[in-house]
Amino acid sequence: MKQEEDFYKRILDNLYEGVYFVDTDRKITYWNEGASRISGYNSDEVIGTACWDNILVHINDEGVNLCQGACPLQQTIADGKTHEVEAYLRHKDGYRVPVLVHTSPILDSRGKIIGGVEIFSDNSSRKAAVQRIEALQKMTLLDELTQIGNRRYLDIDLSAKLAEAQRYSWTFGIAFIDIDHFKMVNDTFGHDVGDEVLKLVTRTLLNNSRLFDVVGRWGGEEFIAIITHITGPKLYPIVNRYCALVEQSRLSVNSNVIQVTISIGATIAKVNDTVDTLVKRADELMYQSKLSGRNRVTVDV
Q: Is 284 a catalytic residue?
A: no
Please list the residue range(s) of the chain that carry CATH number 3.30.70.270.
126-300
Q: In terms of CATH architecture, what is 2-122?
A: 2-Layer Sandwich (3.30)
Residue type, 9: K
Measured CA angle at 178 (ends 172, 183), to 5 deg:
165
pLDDT at 264: 98
pLDDT at 47: 92
Find the DSSP H helices in 208-265.
232-247
**Per the residue annotation, which of 84, 134, 221, 222 is the catalytic one?**
221
pLDDT at 63: 76
CB–CB of 267/285 below 8 Å? yes
Torsion angles phi and psi, residue 11, rounded to 5: -60, -50
pLDDT at 159: 94
The torsion angle over the Cα atoms of residues 104, 109, 114 and 115, rounded to 10 degrees, is -30
pLDDT at 297: 97
Please list the residue range(s) of the chain that carry CATH number 3.30.450.20.
2-122
pLDDT at 1: 47
Q: Which residues of the chain have pLDDT under 50?
A: 1-2
Q: Which residues contact 284 (CB under 8 A, 6 or more apart)?
A: 265
Nearest to 173 by CA among 136, 217, 222, 210: 210
Q: How far apart are CA 88 and CA 67, in angstroms?
A: 11
Nearest to 150 by CA among 202, 210, 228: 202
Condensed to tens digits (0 to 9), the pLDDT of residues 262-294 reads: 999 999 999 899 999 999 999 999 999 999 999
Q: How far apart are CA 202 and CA 72, in angstroms?
A: 35
**126-300 adopts what CATH topology?**
Alpha-Beta Plaits (3.30.70)
> How far, CA to CA in Å, does 35 sit from each of 59, 106, 128, 173, 251?
17, 18, 21, 35, 37
